[in-house]
Chains A and B, each alone.
Chain A
Amino acid sequence: MTYLPKPKFHHPALPKNALGFTHRDYEGSISTLCAGCGHDSISAAVIQACFELNLQPHRLAKLSGIGCSSKTPDYFLGQSHGFNSVHGRMPSVLTGANLANRELIYLGVSGDGDSASIGLGQFMHCVRRGVNMLYITENNGVYGLTKGQFSATADRGSRSKAGGINNDSPLDLVGLALLIGATFVARSFSGDKTQLVPLIMAGLSHNGPAFIDVISPCVAFNNHPGSTKSFEYVREHNEAVNRLDFMDPRQPITVDYEPGTTAEVTLHDGSKLRLAKLHADYDPHDRIAAMTYMQQRASAGELVTGLIYMEPEARDMHATLNTVDVPLNGLSEKQLCPGSAALEKVNASLR
């Protein structure tokens, strides 16, 4: 971590987004994670994504569980309310927050210990319930805060810093998210900001449960030879299926692509994604094919990244529950309390 806080002073020439905010307006406290931690790159990507999306910082709520990854919401979006909740239980807290006010954007930040071990059940149920959110796991295959134990996403045969071999099968969060109905599923790498930023932008704009598994090496405990979550290993085995561009509708398209190599996707809020296909026949709109492809590539030792699946016309939990358009936390007595006359009728029916 750095102990040198940046001055609050804003350089007048700092670029501003459409709302007049600079990058600095999306920053948070100083990170207390280790220097070089992959998680800090993810925080930077979140800041960049929100800046480029022209989000009003206070209209987003960030929630997390416990662990290194769950500390990060303190390090971005200082103007947003944050909730560092209970280990593995962020999904339920986020679900409740979302029920209370459907108008905010919800960002859940978690780790592999938080989501794949203690909170696996909550992660899965939150996704299958269709909560409108972006759920990011900062996945490093290791327990950092307790100094280097394997997590449930550690690959079988991978070696810990202390020399132990992991003999258990890994949990694949992307595979699970596909299985239980996430309508936006991606995987990325903390060391690849150009891939990660547009994915976060798209995930935040998605209407429904969006999930991004970000492989984020732990420099302190899982960045050595023999680890399958080290910077070196991930760079070598990273197979991106596509490149995403988040298109600002006001900007003219200047880059020409070879015909057949790109696809355009319109999100529910009108924004568009341009998908550069790196694998010509990969279709991110086919859930079953995506599941098969992921299994095939995993057995070949590849780590597939990019936009893996997206359902543009997704529904969320509020649609299922048929709740009113206005936030439930804003309803008044008049809209909530049936009053004494109705109660008298209830009394009469109980005699």
Chain B
Amino acid sequence: MPKAIRSVNDFVIKFANVNGSGSASANEMFARAVMRMGVPIATRNIFPSNIQGLPTWFEVRVSEKGWPGRRGGCDLMVAMNPQTWDKDIASIDPGGYLFYDSSKPMPESKFRSDVNVVGMPLTEICNRTYKDPRQRQLFKNIIYVGALSALFDIERATVEKLVREQYGSKQQLLESNIKALNLGYAYAKEHLAGLCNLKVAKSGAVGNRILIAGNDAAALGCVYGGATVAAWYPITPSTSVAEAFAKWCRKFRVDPETKRHRFAIVQAEDEISAIGVVIGAGWNGARAFTATSGPGISLMQEFLGLAYFAEIPAVIFDVQRGGPSTGMPTRTQQADILLCAYASHGDTKHVLLFPEDPRELFEMAALSFDLAERLQTPIFVMEDLDIGMNDWLCEPFQWDDSRVYDRGKLMTAAELEAGKTFGRYLDVDGDAIPYRTLPGTHPSKGAYFTRGTSRDRFAKYSEDGAVYVDNMQRLLRKFETAKSLVPAPVLRRAREPARYGVIYFGSTSAPMAEALVSLEQAGLHLDTLRIRAFPFRDEVADFITAYDQVFVVEQNRDAQLRSLLVNECAIDPARLISVLHYDGTPVTARFITAAISERLQIRAKEAAE
């Protein structure tokens, strides 16, 4: 028997449950209790494409250091699902713990000799206490939360306060939940004392950070960014963006006097219609967005080309899941990069934003509407499912009240009246961004006909090759202008001069910082660049050429960002080494550390020979 793992504020606990058993809210309450103790957490919900019956897991990483990524491994398994028992038991780190329902005797062969067993007769306690079968199931979850609190030394009052916050308005539910919590807590104190050496000790490490899921933050960013029209079609993992937008709008966008809505949300008949509504609204001057996932982007292709060519503002949230086809609809990936960057037929290029966590997602969501109107083009906010659907501990949101929305180049009735020349596709300012007018602006000036067909600088239909080329070249120049407007990449230098660099983006940010610490401890120093947008600013190519080689860490099979870098920055592919993780789970620090150090050791060996 290896030594039992001992740790304070640094371990991973995993809950294995049956989907639809009511475990999610109990597990989240446990995680939040750790956070209320002041100890940072990183949670991952690993769920099936299913409503009831299939296995689901919830992972809580307790991390005094505040690492937001998945660590990998498991120190304590709360094994509540007989279907996955064997696999769950096998996944516990040697010396780790198994917490299980001991109501029924189990053969010894079902356990591991190198794992510490903490059994609690949960079903028995529930059956004794509750008559209603549904209550027996639901309160079992709260009972184990109570027991785990006792095992980890989480203050009972902290958990009780959370229960009160959740059920405060429903007296009966509140009392029965507190009763269940106390039942579990008391049992563990009496029967399980000393069985677990994983502890949560009060800390100040959380600081003023907040816990929120990316989709929730994105929706809030849309409210702050002035979005008034949302059109969407239900698809995992983006549905909660639209639902959260409705929630925040009910809170912030209802006229206090008339109770009328300063927003419109349309659940469309499909993603094609959803993007059509967004384009119609954007054409008519409302800030509009849709939220979808890969399959939805596939359906929107034709419209995206129109919006690019006719130059119409639109914001698209793509919460990326495992593809292709239906793929792994509830698992995370970063595999829509090329699909979005070059969406639609013909020559197109689109602006992409890559948020690293919910806080940045909030900011990019708000920013995307400014960019869409300034550049008069679709803006893609590329979320990873890992960010969108998991609660992240992140810095609090901030807003500058002096901020003014950038409505872009809108020609006014007064300017038209004063005789200012209006050419819808005329580059007046040299930045390749033309002026537009909104329908209804002026009785006799500034009207034009929007079309996806080729037209001249004054929006007159034309199939003249030179006129077409003139317009396509301007669109390219406009994309150059976009470079100066999108968020700059974030550079981090190693403590010692580095010969190798690392490029990463999106949710990979979470494990990357941690991986760099491990690599540094092994004497491997790497400079890093976190890409936050496409088109790539000049700093990106400069970064790549400054090193012998650069690792590009991505969560897809085909190294899509690498392809985009090679293509757009005219980079020799040999300069870029891919580190790819695409099994649907978020990439871990352990994986990145191993992949990079292995390759660097091979390089070192080659150099020595």
| Chain A interface residues toward B at CB < 8 A | 56-59, 61, 63, 73-74, 78-86, 89, 91-101, 103-104, 121-122, 125, 129, 318, 321-325, 328-331, 333, 335-340, 342-344, 346-347, 350-351
Contact with A along B362-396 (1 / 0, CB 8 A): 00000000000000000000000000000000001
Interchain residue pairs A-B with the least CB separation, the first 6: A96-B280, A92-B276, A100-B286, A81-B439, A329-B285, A100-B284
- How many whole Å from B567's CB to the nearest CB in chain A? 27
A329 CA / B279 CA spacing, docked (Å): 13
Contact residues in A for B265 (Cβ distance below 8 Å): 321
A169 CA / B269 CA spacing, docked (Å): 25
Given A96-B276, A321-B261, A331-B228, residue A346 in contact with residue B397 (CB < 8 A): yes
Residues in B264-312 with C-beta less than 8 Å from chain A: 264-266, 268-270, 272-286, 288, 302-303, 306
Interface-lining segment among B234-242, B332-340, B400-408, B505-513: B400-408
Q: Are A337 and B226 in contact (CB under 8 A)?
A: yes
Say yes or no: is B255 at the interface (Cβ < 8 Å to chain A): yes
- How many whole Å from B368's CB to the nearest CB in chain A? 15
Say yes or no: is B441 at the interface (Cβ < 8 Å to chain A): yes
Q: Are B398 and A340 in contact (CB under 8 A)?
A: yes
Interface-lining segment among B190-198, B208-216, B592-600: B208-216
Say yes or no: is B461 at the interface (Cβ < 8 Å to chain A): yes
Contact residues in A for B399 (Cβ distance below 8 Å): 337, 339-340, 343
A186 CA / B532 CA spacing, docked (Å): 53
Chain A interface mostly: helix
A337 CA / B370 CA spacing, docked (Å): 14
Q: Are A96 and B281 in contact (CB under 8 A)?
A: yes
| Chain B interface residues toward A at CB < 8 A | 35, 206, 208-212, 220, 223-226, 228-229, 231, 252-253, 255, 258-266, 268-270, 272-286, 288, 302-303, 306, 396-401, 403-405, 437-444, 447-453, 461
Q: Are A99 and B261 in contact (CB under 8 A)?
A: no
A323 CA / B461 CA spacing, docked (Å): 36
- How many whole Å from B299's CB to the nearest CB in chain A? 11
Q: Are B306 and A325 in contact (CB under 8 A)?
A: no
Pick from A74, A92, A336, A344: contact of B228, CB under 8 Å: A336
Given A86-B276, A329-B285, residue A59 in contact with residue B260 (CB < 8 A): no
- How many whole Å from B307's CB to the nearest CB in chain A? 10
Q: Are B280 and A328 in contact (CB under 8 A)?
A: no
Q: Are A93 and B262 in contact (CB under 8 A)?
A: no
Closest residue of chain B to A58 (Cβ to Cβ) is B443
Q: Are A97 and B272 in contact (CB under 8 A)?
A: no
A129 CA / B397 CA spacing, docked (Å): 36
- How many whole Å from A244's CB to the nearest CB in chain B? 28
Q: Are A329 and B286 in contact (CB under 8 A)?
A: yes
A323 CA / B258 CA spacing, docked (Å): 10
Could you write out 12 A-B pairs with CB less than 8 Å apart?
Answer: A61-B284, A79-B444, A81-B437, A89-B303, A96-B283, A100-B283, A329-B281, A329-B286, A337-B403, A346-B220, A351-B35, A351-B210
Given A96-B231, A338-B252, A351-B210, residue A122 in contact with residue B262 (CB < 8 A): no
Pick from A80, A122, A325, A329: contact of B284, CB under 8 Å: A329
Pick from A79, A99, A335, A346: contact of B277, CB under 8 Å: A99
Contact residues in B for A78 (Cβ distance below 8 Å): 447
Pick from B270, B285, B288, B439: contact of A80, CB under 8 Å: B439
Q: Are B224 and A343 in contact (CB under 8 A)?
A: yes
Pick from B269, B302, B439: contact of A125, CB under 8 Å: B269
A67 CA / B178 CA spacing, docked (Å): 66
A92-B268, A350-B212 known; 17 other A-B pairs, CB under 8 Å? A61-B284, A79-B443, A80-B439, A81-B450, A82-B447, A84-B449, A84-B450, A86-B303, A96-B276, A100-B281, A125-B269, A324-B262, A333-B226, A337-B226, A337-B403, A350-B210, A351-B206
Given A84-B453, A329-B284, A337-B226, residue A61 in contact with residue B255 (CB < 8 A): no
Given A58-B441, A81-B448, residue A328 in contact with residue B397 (CB < 8 A): no
- How many whole Å from B61's CB to the nearest CB in chain A? 18
Pick from B273, B439, B449: contact of A89, CB under 8 Å: B273
Q: Are B226 and A336 in contact (CB under 8 A)?
A: yes
Closest residue of chain A to B288 (Cβ to Cβ) is A96
Q: Are A58 and B449 in contact (CB under 8 A)?
A: no
Given A58-B444, A84-B449, A343-B224, residue A99 in contact with residue B273 (CB < 8 A): no
A141 CA / B293 CA spacing, docked (Å): 37
Contact residues in B for A340 (Cβ distance below 8 Å): 398-401
A101 CA / B264 CA spacing, docked (Å): 11
Q: Are A79 and B447 in contact (CB under 8 A)?
A: yes
Q: Are A125 and B252 in contact (CB under 8 A)?
A: no
Q: Are B440 and A92 in contact (CB under 8 A)?
A: no
Given A122-B276, A329-B284, residue A99 in contact with residue B229 (CB < 8 A): yes
Contact residues in A for B270 (Cβ distance below 8 Å): 121
Contact residues in B for A86 (Cβ distance below 8 Å): 276, 302-303, 306, 452
Q: Are B277 and A95 in contact (CB under 8 A)?
A: yes
Q: Which of B211, B281, B405 has most chain A Cβ within 10 Å?
A: B281
Contact residues in B for A331 (Cβ distance below 8 Å): 226, 228, 262
Contact residues in A for B261 (Cβ distance below 8 Å): 321-324
A67 CA / B453 CA spacing, docked (Å): 12
Pick from A59, A125, A333, A342: contact of B440, CB under 8 Å: A59
Q: Are A96 and B441 in contact (CB under 8 A)?
A: no
Contact residues in B for A89 (Cβ distance below 8 Å): 272-273, 276, 302-303
A103 CA / B252 CA spacing, docked (Å): 24
Q: Which of B264, B265, B269 has most chain A Cβ within 10 Å?
A: B264
- How many whole Å from A19's CB to the nearest CB in chain B? 9
Contact residues in B for A324 (Cβ distance below 8 Å): 255, 258, 260-262
Q: Are B228 and A328 in contact (CB under 8 A)?
A: yes
Given A99-B264, A104-B439, residue A338 in contact with residue B223 (CB < 8 A): yes
Q: Which of B211, B258, B261, B441 has most chain A Cβ within 10 Å?
A: B261
A337 CA / B249 CA spacing, docked (Å): 10
Q: Are A96 and B277 in contact (CB under 8 A)?
A: yes
Contact residues in B for A344 (Cβ distance below 8 Å): 396
Pick from B229, B231, B400, B401: contact of A328, CB under 8 Å: B229
